Chains A and B, each alone.
Chain A
């Protein structure tokens, strides 16, 4: 490799979103036929780096060279034409078309001006054979395929476009165990034919099984690139988490102990999570930690009835409840501050007042004059900064929008509040205000279930941490546990 330039060389890549740096001077080189792992915690910048390579984002600074030639992508098509293919978790496939049609979409082979279906099927069969995949028919409709076969279709599409580098974002996240085996074979096959793979994953086992070299990112900076043979899983975890500037978290009031169990889930399960045993007491903040796709949000959605548990039992304040939908959950005294505030939490073009009253207005059982009268008080107790209650919420800052969401739920006087990524997309100052709001809620006797992908938040804020892996509870830790302990459970390794 000394004589020839590496297949890919990214140097000094910077990227900021809205002034917040996400990547600072990151370097990455990938050789031909190499399987290169890109690892780091949630928010370390892995996905952003991959999206820059795929042409989805454009870097603010730095250079990208492919085969020694400088390139710059402002559109995903340019990256594709340059031979960089990306397989994201959200597939870019049309379910109503066949495998062959998807593989050749936009580049259909023609004969005498018409689409040559025979050639399309034959070419697809050839690519699949080259990949060593025998059980996938080019004429099968993509919508009827398993996730693994859809993934293969994506990879076949990339190869048929002549990709020399395939980027895979968490390729096993949605696969069953048997399918992971298939992906392993596929990656091996790609390496044999000289195609490089950039493998973004959290799963240490896969990384050590598959990858030649590993690049670790942390907080948007390059930590290290090492050969897999020269490192160990423990080393890698230490590099991924390290230590960083302590955030300020409000401590529980001295002398308060958790009270009665307010939310209890026994053996809860549905299509996405299973075997969930969970208790949250009055005055307690329980953190749900886990990697992307581990089932954190799915538990929140099950508790709130969006995608209910189909197995197990749920009790609120000692009374068994059957939560079949959000309305049932609200009636039982459960509130959910959703992950996606703009899509699910707020009516953006309506006023602060209309939003804050929405839960009360919509649910006759919790509606009362007394509660309506309290809404203004709740808003001001959260230090909402707005021109007035008539202002449309879309004009508020992220932090203030989130306060409106919290207010609308507090107005309903819930016993259990589930917070899914409550600080996503809000600035540091507002984050700290929200932390103390969350602590105050607990102090008032609410049971708080907190989900956050920033480990530091869960560790700093929660009294207890439940760690998920692959839709199951992998372990439980006390508040203030180390990031290494949480990551050990979250990556599916035995605790130390």
Chain B
């Protein structure tokens, strides 16, 4: 028996950062031809600012997708969270800690509900989270006709302050991403998410409590949506029910998939997701700088996402679904 030689093949995550570099380079060239500079401070700030909101949502989304689940309710959870934050703060600096706690509690409970229905009632997560999303939407539409609450200036700094060209919110997002990477790698619950998404039966047979693992992923996904809601509140200075119309959940899913996490679960990670978020942000900034028609912008975004996933799919094709006995070339 000889060990097969290590194939000098790039890891998926490295490939995605390479893709990010490629997109940056292509974007820089395109804007330069257009007479602009992609790396001008204003553009850098724009790019980095775009990463934070989608980033929070996409980090949580990565966890549930790794478990072979999905969360379509994060956009609504974020909108609700912005209202919870703004109304609890009510202009008072002293209320900020309470507001943050309230947001994390509410968003975590929404995630717990999603997880429980999916894991223990066996409802397909697509339907579960579409349902919770609609419930939240209905609540927001009937209870909040317009903006509500008041965010004190101190907390608004979370939305606007920068360190050099880097917004504080982006730094926080990267910190959350680092925490998530550590969580997936070093805690049992995180590690088990790969097993649950990879093959729930194998996981169960190995003694993993699959239901709990799925619950944990959904709770954390809800909470990152809550953090996204805090950021929305900080940016708007008020709570906004309308935020859900931006369909943030779809951006988050796109970023996760662009980041190389398998929609079928069990493979991928947060490092890739961050690159996926960055790719989307670069594209949007480039389109902005070049003043591309917003509709054409959506067409281009859609095309990029599909193309990327098609490339991954080719890499994913499993040639070993059934082990060959007479592999081509060594048959007699």
Contact = CB atoms under 8 A, between A and B. Distances in A.
Nearest to A181: B1
Given A92-B202, A92-B205, A269 B267 contact: no
Nearest to B204: A77
Contacts of B3: 135-137
Contacts of A269: 326, 331
A106 B206 contact: yes
A272 B332 contact: no
B278 to A, nearest CB: 24
A106 B326 contact: no
B186 interface: yes
Residue from B3, B199, B206 with most neighbouring chain A CB atoms (10 Å) = B206
Interface in A100-143: 101, 105-108, 110, 113-115, 135-137, 143
B325 A94 contact: no
Which of B1, B2, B198, B208: most chain A CB closer than 10 A? B1
Nearest to A270: B326
Please tell me the size bucket of the interface on B: 20 to 34
Main secondary structure of the interface of A (DSSP, over half): loop
Interface string B189-213: 0011011001101110111100000
A148 B1 CA distance: 9
Interface string B50-64: 000000000000000
Interface string A300-311: 000000000011
A164 interface: no
Interface string B251-289: 000000000000000110000000000000000000000
B4 interface: yes
Chain A interface size range? 35 or more
Given A106-B208, A115-B186, A272 B2 contact: no
A115 B199 CA distance: 21
B232 to A, nearest CB: 33
A146 B322 CA distance: 12
A351 B300 CA distance: 44
Contacts of A106: 192, 195, 203, 206-208
A96 B188 CA distance: 16
B296 to A, nearest CB: 38
A77 B327 CA distance: 36
A140 to B, nearest CB: 9
A271 B207 contact: no
Interface of B: 1-4, 7, 185-188, 191-192, 194-195, 198-199, 201-203, 205-208, 266-267, 320, 322-328, 331-332
Interface of A: 76-77, 80, 92-97, 101, 105-108, 110, 113-115, 135-137, 143-144, 146-148, 174, 176, 178-179, 181-182, 269-274, 295, 310-311, 470-471
Given A94-B203, A115-B187, A115-B191, 17 more contacts: A96-B266, A96-B267, A97-B195, A97-B198, A105-B208, A107-B207, A114-B187, A115-B185, A135-B2, A181-B1, A182-B1, A271-B322, A271-B328, A273-B325, A273-B326, A274-B331, A311-B331
